[in-house]
Structure 1
Amino acid sequence: MAPKMTHGMTPQDLDRIAGAVAEAERTTAGEIFCVLAPEVSDYRETPLVWAAATALVLPAAALFAGFRPEMLTRLFGGWSIGHASALDGAILSALSTYIALQVVVFVVAALVVSMPPVRRALTPASLKAARVKRAAMEQFLGHGLHVTRDRTGVLIFAALAEHRVEVIADEGIYKAAPNTVWDDVVADLVGGLKAGRIADGFVAAVGRAGAILAEHVPPRGDDRNELPDGLTILPKR
């Protein structure tokens, strides 16, 4: 029987990541924790915002282009109003048609933008970045990386749908190592993700993080493993 795949990774891949973390931590007093998120948010506001904007802009643009609401009435066989005393009725009919058109445009746009590929493509990059950073910080705090013995926890976080990576090091690391060294950790993980080799990306990033930690936070005789070594995979939103 073929091994069960988890987001493109086999149990052997997960074992490789856990092994890489364990190996890296043998050379340092730091703690490395890895998290993979299929998607950090459902971005429910994106379809609503795009649908509202489209419903406001598209019918208005049609009016400027020469479209008139009564055209729809005539198109579907409605009666036209020719008497001057019926002007109020004509205005009401035009407004009703315009509002109905806005509703239809809103519903159609919301349904289209709700499709995951479209929703992700139309969600602003700044919003994705903020949601990924928040999700990463929630994992950092939720798993207690901020309460390790010497505040030397490092989180390696990847969000697949958003195509974003976060590396968060606690204050004990930031005091010892310059912030720029983590750029290489990010690059290693991103390289693996771009190539579709998630496990390879994490193994490379863990190895790089371990080398940084070994240089700036050497091991002590009474070190103990404070965090799980395996990859934590979050449920899909």
Structure 2
Amino acid sequence: MNQQSATTTTTQDAGRYGLPQHALQRIAEAVTLAEGKTSAEIRVVVTRAPLVQHPFFSILWASLAALVLPWLIVLAYPMPALSALALQATLFVILAAALLMPGMAEKAVPRLALKAAARNAAIETFLSYGIPQTKGRTGILIFAAARERLVEVVADDAAHGPLGAAAWRDICDAVAARARQGSLAEGLVAGVEKAGDLLAGPLPRKPDDRNEMPNHVVVL
């Protein structure tokens, strides 16, 4: 298994991310057409939940700021040590409360941490949906984190071997290019089409191939 960096009962509010029912159907149709070119299996999963859901980074930044900033003030305006400690505590409480507010907590998470979380979530999804169990180990997953606008591709051994990481970056780029223009659905269609074209070379469709996984998009 290698990686690169929607039946749905949960599609009711997916439209907020540019994924109304007709868009999900269009992506599913793109998967069907792409798999008509290749023996590989393509799965598309979109998650709407935050990749990082705990307040660790909000508390971290508030702690660092409360640790450093008061002493810079002390250098300019000397004060007793107890007063400086009280200032630290007050600053920590104010900053922590502000950074834990809805919307602010997500902004406190570094981009590198989000990318690492996206990779981990994609691998977990790849495994939980049984993609490594496909015949010939040819399954790939296109995983999109809608809130964070991140895309990951996880490919099983038989798909990754002949194509390599560059192919998965091309798929991610195809999704991201359209998503930046405001259409995640069109981005996913483009990514699926790119996957079909890339996989058709080393893994062409065979007469006895059968569809081993559903083609609909999973929205989490």
Q: TM-score, normalised by structure 1?
A: 0.80
Tell whether 2:22 aligns with 1:36. no
Instruction: Tell me the alpha carbon deviations over residues 153-199 of structure 1, each in whole angstroms, 9 at most, x when there is no partner.
Output: 11111113333211111100122223312222111100121112011
Question: 1:233 — aligned with what?
Answer: 219
Instruction: Tell me the alpha carbon deviations over residues 16-60 of structure 1, each in whole angstroms, 9 at most, x when there is no partner.
Output: 011111111122110111111222222421111011111111221
Contact 1:5 1:11 in 2 (8 A): no
Once the two structures are superposed, the pairs formed by residues 1-237 of structure 1 within 5 Å of their partners are 6=14, 7-38=17-48, 39-69=50-80, 95=82, 97-234=83-220
Corresponding letter in the other structure for 1:46: F
Structure 1 runs, 4 residues or longer, greater than 4 Å off: none
Q: Secondary structure at the match of 1:226?
A: coil
Identity of aligned residues (%): 36
Corresponding letter in the other structure for 1:136: A
Please tell me the root mean square deviation across aligned C-alpha atoms, in Å: 1.9
Contact 2:177 2:187 in 1 (8 A): yes
Q: Secondary structure at the match of 2:153?
A: strand
Contact 1:146 1:170 in 2 (8 A): yes
Contact 2:71 2:84 in 1 (8 A): no
Contact 1:24 1:211 in 2 (8 A): yes
How far off its partner does 1:4 sit? 5.8
Instruction: Tell me the alpha carbon deviations over residues 75-129 of structure 1, each in whole angstroms, 9 at most, x when there is no partner.
Output: xxxxxxxxxxxxxxxxxxx52x433322221111112222354333332222111
How far off its partner does 1:229 sit? 1.0
Q: Secondary structure at the match of 2:135?
A: coil
Q: Secondary structure at the match of 2:106?
A: helix
Q: Structure 1 residues 203, 103: CA separation in 2 closer, same or farther (over 3 Å shift)?
A: same
Contact 2:176 2:187 in 1 (8 A): yes
Corresponding letter in the other structure for 1:11: Q
Q: Structure 1 residues 128, 108: CA separation in 2 closer, same or farther (over 3 Å shift)?
A: same
**2: distance between equivalents of 1:193 and 1:34?**
15
**2: distance between equivalents of 1:51 and 1:185?**
38
Contact 1:9 1:198 in 2 (8 A): yes
Structure 1: gaps of 5 or more residues: 70-93
Count matched residues.
207
Corresponding letter in the other structure for 2:75: F
Instruction: Tell me the alpha carbon deviations over residues 123-149 of structure 1, each in whole angstroms, 9 at most, x when there is no partner.
Output: 222211111100010011111111111
**2: distance between equivalents of 1:16 and 1:67?**
66
